[in-house]
Chains A and B, each alone.
Chain A
Amino acid sequence: MEKEKIQFANTEDVVIKIEGLYKSFGELEVLKGVDLMLQKGENLAVLGRSGSGKSVLIKILAGLLKPDKGNVTMLGKQLNQLKPKQLDELRLRMGFSFQSSALYDGMSVYDNLSFPLTMNVKHLSKKQVNDAVEEALDAVGLIDKIESDPEELSGGQRKRLGIARTLIMKPEIMLYDEPTAGLDPVTCAEINALIVEVQQQYKTSSIIITHDLTCAKNTCERIAMLIDGAFLKIGTFDEVFATDEEQIKKFFSYNFTL
């Protein structure tokens, strides 16, 4: 299921711009000069080994961690200059799918979805909330689980619910942290299809963190290889695959499941 590639003519359509990002924890230098641009409408995969700092990078983008140095500009706004309120406004325009799904386990499936909506949008009627919840659940194919509790869901269903929870706010940018990690190949394919569907239906631009090559190849226009704290290579799957960088070749040869 090779998807058609989007052509980007206009460089002004940049939704995320990362410049010279550094982050360390104590002695451990995790990010050492990350640069990246995400185009509007594009899905970009960030590939890298476990512990290479992919989650750290995406958490910086969501404002959960502060970089030591460098700039992130998102939807035209520079993150480190935003006041808390402005950061929240920006966050409403982006969706974050956690590696661990991070579902609210004290709430039902329905409440998991209605919670961010009712907390952020005042004066919604019961029907409006119901409709929005049903639409988001429908988009991820979980409409029959509306009355369940998160504990009753499988790993793949939890991932879907995590995605639905962000879709309910109609985000412009989606950040996926390992959407297919720990899932069986069939479920992976379903999640991949869902990511593409979200891109087309909700017109999102996405960064997809993964170490799953199938996922990267099937969902993304471009991929970026995070190695030793920086992007060693950014390009289409074939471009990156054809490189003669030793470390990238090594990553691909271990990881080959296509």
Chain B
Amino acid sequence: MNNLGTNKYLFSKGIDSYFEGVYNGYQFTLRFFKEAFRSPFHFREIINQCFEIGLKSLSLITLTGFIIGVVFTKQSRPSLESFGAVSWLPSLMGIAIIRALGPLVTSLICAGKVGSSISAELGSMKVTEQIDAMEVSAINPFKYLVVSRVVATSISIPILSFYCSFIGLIGSYYNVSSEEATSLQVFYHNAFSNISFLDIFSSFTKALVYGFTIGIVSSYKGFFATHGTRGVGKATNQAVILSIFLIFLEELIIVQIVNWIRYF
């Protein structure tokens, strides 16, 4: 580092701190995997967190899932009609909702609703020294707070995502049935007719990855919050933005990989 002369930054303050952030995030994730598989396991806390996440976002996901199902079906109808392919509508909606919309919508909602509350909670615990208090009581705060929350988001967001897809299809059926006489069974049969195991699996993988991302990013931002209550606000804000950004990035990557597998 001697050849840096008087400039104490490698590139500039902004770029340096960006890379520092990436490195610290990587270390944080690594620490998660190290500690997650080592006892003690805080099962009670994990279950509590799962319930909290579920309760927090269930109503919003139900509403949003339903609306998206209705709206997408409504908007796809004219194009399919012009090809005379309206009977493909359920099948198209099945693909759109299960493959893409379910996991994405769920995780975006959870990034806002769950991610912000995790980073706000951990952040305020950090700045009021509650995390230090755990540490001096010989309780590993990383394990108790971070690991349990990340595991909880990784479990509950996939579940919520399937639930969202299910509700989305109901919304879609609502719209279909108002135009044509189709029974729910026939609708679901058609909707799933083009869904392969790979679709279900990739949908699950996406939701798992997004859930993990939301958990890690929000915990990281909260766990290292500084500068009092203002810092907590900042951390919360950054957690939501970064989660959403990473979710879209991961969506892109996963879709590429899945397509590659599909046509392999």
* A contact set with B: CB distance below 8 Å: 59, 62-64, 88-89, 91-92, 94, 96, 98-100, 102-106, 115-116, 119-120, 165-166, 169
**A102 engages B139 (CB within 8 Å):** no
Cβ-based interface call for B128 (8 A): yes
Q: A-B pairs with CB below 8 Å: how many?
A: 54
Distance between A59 CB and nearest chain B CB, rounded to angstroms: 8
Interface hit among B70-78, B130-138, B188-196: B130-138
A94: chain B residues within 8 A (beta carbon): 136
Contacts of A63 in B (CB 8 A): 135-136
CA distance A248 to B67 in the complex (A): 72
Is the Cβ of A98 less than 8 Å from the Cβ of B137? no
Determine the distance from Cα of A5 to Cα of B137 in the docked complex, in whole angstroms: 31
8 cross-chain pairs, A with B, having the tightest CB-CB distances, nearest first: A88-B138, A102-B129, A116-B137, A102-B133, A96-B136, A91-B138, A62-B136, A119-B139
Q: Are B132 and A169 in contact (CB under 8 A)?
A: no
Min CB distance B134 to A, Å, is 8
* Chain B interface mostly: helix
- Within the complex, the shortest CB–CB distance from B139 to chain A, in Å, comes to 5
How many angstroms between the C-alpha atoms of A46 and B135 in the bound complex?
Answer: 23
Task: List B contacts of A105 (CB < 8 A).
Answer: 124, 128, 130
Instruction: Please indicate the chain B residues that have their CB under 8 angstroms from the CB of A92 in the complex.
Output: 138
Separation of A62 and B144 alpha carbons in the complex (Å): 20
Q: How far is the CA of A102 from the CA of B132 in the complex (A)?
A: 8
Q: Is the CB of A100 within 8 A of B138?
A: no
Residues of A contacting B124 with CB < 8 Å?
105
Whether B138 and A104, one on each chain, are in contact in the complex, defined by CB atoms closer than 8 angstroms, is no
Q: How far is the CB of B116 from chain A (nearest CB, A)?
A: 16
Enumerate chain B residues within 8 angstroms of A100, measured Cβ to Cβ: 128-129
Chain B min CB distance to A166 (Å): 8
**Considering residues B128, B129, B132, B136, which has the most beta carbons from chain A within 10 angstroms of its beta carbon?**
B136
Instruction: Report chain B residues within 8 Å CB of A96.
Output: 133, 136
Question: 15 extra interchain contacts, Cβ-Cβ under 8 A, other than A91-B138, A103-B130, A165-B133?
Answer: A62-B136, A64-B135, A91-B136, A91-B137, A92-B138, A96-B133, A98-B132, A102-B132, A105-B124, A105-B128, A115-B139, A116-B137, A119-B137, A119-B144, A120-B139
Smallest CB–CB gap between B35 and chain A, Å?
11
* Contact pick for A89, options B121, B125, B138, B140, CB 8 Å: B138
Q: Which of B37-86 contact A (CB under 8 A)?
A: none
- Specify the chain B residue showing the minimal Cβ separation from A107: B130
Q: How large is the interface on B (under 10, 10 to 19, 20 to 34, 35 or more residues)?
A: 10 to 19
A59: nearest chain-B partner, CB-CB: B132
Complex Cα gap A104–B134 (Å): 9
Whole-angstrom distance from the CB of A86 to the nearest CB of chain B?
11
Instruction: Please give, as numbers and ranges, the residues of chain A lying within 8 Å of B140 by CB-CB distance.
Output: 88
A104 touches B139 (CB 8 A): no
Contact indicator A98/B129 (Cβ below 8 Å): yes
Q: Compute how far the CA of A10 lies from the CA of B128 in the bound complex, rounded to whole angstroms.
A: 40
> Are B136 and A64 closer than 8 Å at their CB atoms?
yes
Give the docked Cα–Cα distance between A253 and B132 (Å).
Answer: 35
Report whether B138 and A98 are in contact in the complex, using a CB–CB cutoff of 8 Å: no
What's the least CB distance linking A68 to chain B, in Å? 18
Name the A residues within 8 Å of B125 (CB-CB): 104
Q: A59–B132 Cα gap in the complex (Å)?
A: 9
What is the CB-to-nearest-CB distance from B27 to chain A, in angstroms, rounded to a whole number?
16
A-B contact pairs, 25 of them (CB 8 A): A63-B135, A64-B135, A88-B140, A91-B135, A91-B137, A91-B138, A96-B133, A96-B136, A98-B129, A98-B132, A98-B133, A102-B128, A102-B130, A103-B130, A104-B130, A105-B124, A115-B139, A116-B137, A116-B138, A116-B139, A119-B138, A119-B139, A119-B144, A120-B139, A165-B137
For A175, give the chain B residue with the smallest CB separation: B136
Residues in A neighbouring B130, C-beta threshold 8 A:
102-105
- Which residue of chain A has its CB nearest to the CB of B42? A119
* Complex contacts, A169 vs chain B, CB 8 Å: 137
CB distance from B41 to the nearest CB of A (A): 13
Name B121's closest neighbour in chain A (CB-CB).
Answer: A106
Complexed CA–CA distance, A11 and B144 (Å): 41
- Which of B124, B130, B137, B139 has the most A CB atoms < 10 Å from its CB? B137
CB neighbors of A among B102-126 (8 A):
121, 124-125
Min CB gap A71→B, angstroms: 20
Docked pose: A150 CA to B234 CA in angstroms:
26
A102 to B139, CA, bound (A): 14
